[in-house]
Every structure is written in C-alpha cells, then in structure tokens.
Amino acid sequence: MTIRTFCKSPESQIRSGMVFLGIASLSKWWLESRSMLPGTWSDAIIGFLYGVSIALMLLGIWRKTHPRQ
C-alpha cells in the first residue's frame, strides 16, 4: 500500500486518528509526571496531539459518510 492510497482511505484515517489518540493519552501521562518541560510546553504538545487525532477521525468519518462521486 502506497502513502497515497493510505491517505485516501477513510478507514486508515480513522485508524491513524485512534493511534494518535493513544499517543496523546500516553504522552499526557508521561509529560505530566516525568518531563522537565515547563507546563505550557507540555500542554501545547498534548493539545497538538489531541487535535491531530480528532481531526483525523472526523475527516475519516466525514469521508466515509460522503463518498466521492
């Protein structure tokens, strides 16, 4: 599977969103307990990862319900 077909598949976008959701949850736990970063930087990283996961899942769901004609 090439990158182009992977990006066009709604199922793979939803799956990628779920992976990023897991990474965001683990990074929240790891950055808040063990990080030497200031609170604002760790919040920014966690927020970015949650944003990517939500965007990928919503895009995949929208593309799955609105097939291209």
pLDDT tens digits for 22-56?
Answer: 999 998 888 777 777 777 888 888 999 999 999 99
17 closest CA partner among 45, 53, 50: 53
**pLDDT score recorded for residue 56:** 93
DSSP 2: -
56 burial type by CB count under 10 A (0-12 exposed, 13-18 middle, 19+ buried): buried
Task: Give pTM, 2 decimals.
Answer: 0.80
5 phi and psi angles, rounded to 5 deg:
-70, -30
**Which one is predicted more confidently, 33 or 7?**
33
CA angle 7, 2, 48 (to 5 degrees): 35
